[in-house]
Amino acid sequence: MIQVTSPFLPPKEEYLKYIDKIYHKKWLTNMGPLSSELELKLKDYLGVEHLLFLNNGTLALQISIKALKLEGEIITTPFSFIATTTSIMWENCQPVFADIDPETLNINPEKIEEAITSKTTGILATHVFGNPCDISAIEKIAQKHNLKVIYDAAHCFGVNYKEKSVLEYGDISTVSFHATKLFHTVEGGAVISKSPELIYRLSKLRNFGFKTSESFDGIGINGKNSEFHAAMGLCNLKYADEIIAKRKVQCGIYKRLLSNKGVAFQKINDASDYNYSYFPVIFESEEILLKVKKELENNWIYARRYFFPSLSDLEYIVKQGTPVSDNISKRILCLPLYHELEKEEIELICRIIIRYIKY
């Protein structure tokens, strides 16, 4: 069986060394030594000044909205994981969708400008599949209209834009360390900001609003992660470069075999160093996609329709015109991609795709 993804796991003995330390200290959570060490090492690896380790990427989005005190309407993309939209709604704001670019699959800055109203307070843009948005254009719009910018950078571990971490842009960036990501802590996430004031605010939001053990600084929530999760992160961080390099090779094989074979590829931002988080292909029609997906499954190969449906189709969302996202979401399929995936398995996947595109 070939799944769409499979988590990278470090050698068991390396993880168990950290577990022994946890058992010895009996410090399981509340930002113990391993969590603090992971934060420092992540800041160094990613090239960011401020980073907070959290229990997941969804809560990272929620406390970012809270920290920026956003209200009313937040302009966002309809082509993302559902947490991007529901985080806005969870914080009692209204998502307003701006359609996407059909090549990059990211939010279209021109559509952002068109969607701004007197109620707009922020922009929440996703770097889709780790591909950086048109950051320069978004920054200009935000400055012109005095809007805050959050980047959902869930897929962006190790991605640079214009020779610095893509996580350094916007008011806040969020990232996911879920088990499906190329770097993971089993469950986890982080918030990143250049602003010391915002990081202070986020740190209080992460921990119930505690200022000291006996005083509070506003309302907070439990967003902390555990030492066991930090241990997995410390182990996996050692292999991050190797994981990205392997994925680059795997994506290169896919692209070579599928080029000019009836599928289109996501256009990657020229100003970025990509991390090869995913390998999406776009078919000419939903009919062809469904036929290929079914045949892959007949061979115990499981691709996934990321992102389907378009978030603008959710039953609890006010219907908005997003024809590009609606169309792309019906025709896109993410192919299997993970560290142990072999060249021969990629070749098999491509043979099946090519064969059934022709039928």
Q: What does the DSSP assignment read for 275-314?
A: -----EEEES-HHHHHHHHHHHHHTTB--B-TT-S-GGG-
Number of neighbours of residue 315 by Cβ within 10 angstroms:
4
Per DSSP, what are the bridge partners of residue 175?
Answer: 190
Q: How far is CA 327 from CA 45, 100, 220, 335, in A?
A: 38, 10, 40, 19
Work out the pLDDT band at 319, boundaries 50, 70, 90: confident
Mean pLDDT calculated for residue range 27-43? 97
Query: Looking at residue 79, what is its pLDDT?
Result: 98
Query: Looking at residue 110, what is its pLDDT?
Result: 97
67-71, 126-130, 213-217, 269-273: the lowest-pLDDT one: 213-217
pTM above 0.85, yes or no: yes
- Euclidean distance between CA atoms 274 and 270, whole angstroms: 9
Per DSSP, what are the bridge partners of residue 107?
Answer: 100
Domain topology for 240-358: Aspartate Aminotransferase, domain 1 (3.90.1150)
Mean pLDDT calculated for residue range 114-126? 98
- Euclidean distance between CA atoms 160 and 206, whole angstroms: 26
Query: Looking at residue 213, what is its pLDDT?
Result: 81
> Alpha carbon 134 to chain centroid distance?
16
- Euclidean distance between CA atoms 204 and 201, whole angstroms: 5
47-51, 55-59, 139-143, 313-317: the lowest-pLDDT one: 313-317
Query: Looking at residue 318, what is its pLDDT?
Result: 81
**Cβ atoms of residues 285 and 333 within 8 Å:** no
Position 138, amino acid: I
Q: How far is CA 341 from CA 71, 251, 333, in A?
A: 44, 11, 17
Query: Looking at residue 11, what is its pLDDT?
Result: 98
Mean pLDDT calculated for residue range 163-187? 97
Work out the pLDDT band at 48, boundaries 50, 70, 90: very high
Work out the pLDDT band at 191, boundaries 50, 70, 90: very high
- Strands of the chain (E only): list them: 51-54, 73-76, 94-97, 120-126, 148-152, 160-161, 164-165, 172-176, 189-192, 210-212, 215-216, 263-265, 272-273, 280-283, 332-334
Query: Looking at residue 359, what is its pLDDT?
Result: 59
Give, for 45, the enclosing helix (H) or strand (E): helix 33-46
Mean pLDDT calculated for residue range 271-276? 96
CATH of 12-237, one of 1.10.150.20, 3.40.640.10, 3.40.50.300, 3.10.20.30: 3.40.640.10
Query: Looking at residue 300, what is its pLDDT?
Result: 98
Question: Is residue 30 left, alpha or beta, with left meaning phi > 0 and alpha meaning psi from -120 to 50?
Answer: left
- Per-domain residue ranges of the chain: 12-237, 240-358
Mean pLDDT calculated for residue range 75-87? 98
DSSP per residue, 206-272: HBTTEEETTEE-S---B----HHHHHHHHHHHTTHHHHHHHHHHHHHHHHHHHTTTTEEEPPPPTTE
Q: What is the dihedral of CA 185, 209, 198, 82, to 10 degrees?
A: 50
Interval 202-258: pLDDT, tens: 999 999 988 888 888 889 999 999 999 999 999 999 999 999 999 999 999 999 999
Q: How far is CA 273 from CA 130, 189, 240, 310, in A?
A: 10, 21, 14, 27
- Strands of 61-133 (E only): list them: 73-76, 94-97, 120-126
Mean of all residue pLDDT scores within the chain: 97
Mean pLDDT calculated for residue range 265-272? 96
% of residues, the chain, pLDDT over 70: 100
Does 12-237 match 240-358 in CATH topology?
no
Query: Looking at residue 245, what is its pLDDT?
Result: 98
Cβ neighbors of 90 (< 8 A, separation 6 or more) are 62
